[in-house]
Amino acid sequence: MKLLAVLRHAKSSWDDAALDDFNRPLNERGWKDARRMGRELKHRGMHFDLVLASAAARVRETIDGVQEHFDFAAPIQFEQRLYGASEQELLSLVRALPDTAHAALLVGHNPGLEQLLAELTLDDEDGLRHRIAGKYPTGALAVVEFPGPRWADVSPATGKIVELILAKELD
């Protein structure tokens, strides 16, 4: 069994219209949500063997905010290809993960993350997939469980969302 956690970056700032999209930072709410997510990950005792993240500023700052309260205790790999990646590009990156990683965290952007989750998962009895269908909000984290032992075997409609944390719902 493999676990893939998918974290969308926290809310970013649009204050500087001249700033390139790649370099947009988090806004105040984004920093608050990232810190709250870090506290929640720590509270739930989550563990990741590997973190694969977009190199965009808002993703880096989301990771910094989460780390204020949660120690990833795993290597963080910033991957340029995650910025603006389609669901197929994301799936290729997931399938290339090392099988030594049981639980991986993918940190990136919409619409790719939302499309990836929709493609990989089936409806679940708790309605978690339905809650994010068509709108995967900033600062959201979904944990998907796959039955196989190899990342290369991850394929559409084989995963199940087993946890869903929405930053906006955290205290």
pLDDT digits (tens, 9 = 90+) for 100-115: 999 999 999 999 999 9
Q: Per the structure, how many domains does the chain have?
A: 1
Render pLDDT for 11-21 as a digit per residue (tens, 0 to 9). 999 988 888 99
| pLDDT band at residue 133 using 50, 70 and 90 as cut-offs | confident
> What is residue 45's predicted lDDT score, i.e. its pLDDT?
97
DSSP per-residue letters across 117-154: HHHHB---TT-HHHHHTT---TTEEEEEEESSS-GGG-
Q: Which residues pair with 3 in a beta bridge?
A: 103, 145
- Token code pair at residue 160: 């199940």
Q: What is the mean pLDDT of residues 22-35?
A: 97
The length of the chain in residues reads 171
Cis peptide before 137 (omega within 30 of 0): no
Q: What is the CATH number of the domain that holds 12?
A: 3.40.50.1240
Provide φ and ψ at 108, rounded to 5°: -165, -140
Percent of the chain with pLDDT over 70: 100
Spatial contact of 63 and 35, defined as CB atoms under 8 Å apart: no
Rg for the chain, CA atoms, rounded: 15
Beta-carbon count within 10 A of 75 CB: 11
Render pLDDT for 49-78 as a digit per residue (tens, 0 to 9). 999 999 999 999 999 999 999 999 999 999
Is pLDDT of 23 > 80?
yes
> What is residue 116's predicted lDDT score, i.e. its pLDDT?
97
Burial class (CB in 10 A: 0-12, 13-18, 19+), 70: buried
Residue 108 belongs to what domain range? Answer: 2-169
Average pLDDT value over all residues in the chain? 96
Provide φ and ψ at 69, rounded to 5°: -125, -10
